[in-house]
Amino acid sequence: MQNDRRLEVLRAIVEDYVATEEPVGSKALVERHGLGVSPATVRNDMAVLEEEGYIAQPHTSAGRVPTDKGYRLFVDRLAGVKPMSPAERRAIASFLDGAVDLDDVVQRSVRLLSQLTRQVAIVQYPTLARSTVRHVELVSLAPTRLLVVLILSTGRVEQRLVEVAAEVDEEGLAELRNRLNAAAAGVVIADAAAALRALPGDPVVTAVVESLVEAMSDHRSDGRIAVAGASNLARYGDSFETAVRPLLEALEEHVVLLKLIGEATSSGMVTVRIGAEGPYAELSSTSVVTTGYGPRDEVLASLGVVGPTRMDYPGTMAAVRAVARYVSRILDEA
């Protein structure tokens, strides 16, 4: 019973500190949260929590603030991932469903995530090397000119104009289209390129295959990220030197941000790294909430938010998971 009550006291301290950025005292906890015990009992619980390293007393204040260890316990035992409200889900769907291509999906997602969480949002573009070929389309534009369209599982579309040495009629075009898709559809692009190169054929087939392999080797999206919400850091005035300034500097280094959000290994699992758990000591006053996304449970990239450790973890985790699910659904339907 005492342990359960102390967990409730810790939950109340975290929630109040996140909301007010003021050290939390026992009297305020009793008044705001209806803990059902006296301020003296709460003070005893706070003393134990402080002794165990879950809360700390800043300066000479009578109140307490959570430590990284306290935030960790809050996330692991108390926070959970709360469901988004129907209104929030409708807003996410409405905003993202209007996207016209992959770039638009990423840009809309990063803006939406920063608005929902009021933190810095980061969305990694899907990594080309991990994607598969969804479909190859051929369109005749002129007797000896073809439009070759490569559609990947990431939703990315590459187009190439190909001049061929001989005319191709509709029947020949359909046959070639079927051969290309039989070799490449559903295959990881590295293997798809090898399979296409192995196709026997005339100069027309060779020209089309070369254009597809070129499109597959275009790595413009690899390592790219989109960032939004840097202005949200203005809310953290008192923690500027310890948390915000290093984070602002990190926003200029995309390699740092890629390492910060990490490589997602599973879709649907939300990862929270608090303070010193992250890869950079100078960013030890920040927390990172991330997850992976991709079509059909295939993880192609990561998205998430970064901000000072004093963040709304349940709300942030819910937003990150919800946006990732909607982006995955869009890629699945592309």
| CATH number (domain holding residue 278) | 3.30.450.40
pLDDT of residue 248: 77
Same domain, 239 and 323: yes
Same domain, 252 and 326: yes
Domain count, the chain: 3
| CATH number (domain holding residue 32) | 1.10.10.10
- Beta bridge partners, 88, equal none
Same domain, 227 and 195: no
pLDDT in tens, 181-237: 999 998 988 899 999 999 988 899 999 999 999 888 765 555 688 999 888 877 766
| CATH number (domain holding residue 207) | 3.30.390.60
Same domain, 228 and 311: yes
Long-range contacts of residues 135-143, Cβ cutoff 8 Å, at least 24 apart: 135/181, 135/185, 136/177, 136/180, 136/181, 136/184, 136/185, 136/212, 137/177, 138/173, 138/176, 138/177, 138/180, 138/208, 140/168, 140/170, 140/173, 143/167, 143/168
Domain stop point among 148, 181, 216: 216
Evaluate whether 13 touches 64 at the Cβ level (below 8 Å).
Answer: yes
| Torsion sign, CA atoms 79, 322, 272, 239 | negative
Pairing of β 271-274 and β 120-124: unpaired
Q: Report the side by side order of strands in the sheet with 133-142.
A: 133-142, 145-152, 157-163
Q: C-alpha 126: how far from its chain's center?
A: 11
Q: What one-character DSSP code corresponds to residue 129?
A: G
Same domain, 103 and 231: yes
Same domain, 231 and 324: yes
Same domain, 173 and 133: yes
Q: Alpha-carbon distance 196 to 188, whole Å?
A: 12
Same domain, 37 and 141: no
Same domain, 266 and 256: yes
Helix axes 26-33, 39-51, angle to 10 degrees: 120
pLDDT in tens, 289-330: 999 988 777 788 899 999 889 899 999 999 999 999 998 888
Domain stop point among 216, 247, 263: 216
- Average pLDDT, integer, range 167-190: 91
Same domain, 68 and 164: no
Q: Which domain holds residue 314?
A: 86-127+221-333
Inform me whether the pLDDT recorded for 2 exceeds 90: no
CA-nearest of 265, 281, 269, 300 to 105 is 300
> And the tokens for 2?
């005492």
Same domain, 229 and 203: no
Q: Alpha-carbon distance 293 to 324, whole Å?
A: 5
Backbone angles phi, psi at 41, to 5 degrees: -65, -40
pLDDT in tens, 230-266: 888 777 666 556 667 777 777 777 778 888 887 666 6
pLDDT in tens, 39-78: 889 899 999 999 999 999 887 667 899 999 999 999 998 7
Task: Tell which wins on pLDDT, 14 or 89.
Answer: 14
Residue 176 binned pLDDT confidence (cut-offs 50, 70, 90): very high
Q: Alpha-carbon distance 298 to 153, whole Å?
A: 9
Same domain, 235 and 303: yes
Evaluate whether 139 touches 177 at the Cβ level (below 8 Å).
Answer: no
Evaluate whether 9 touches 44 at the Cβ level (below 8 Å).
Answer: no
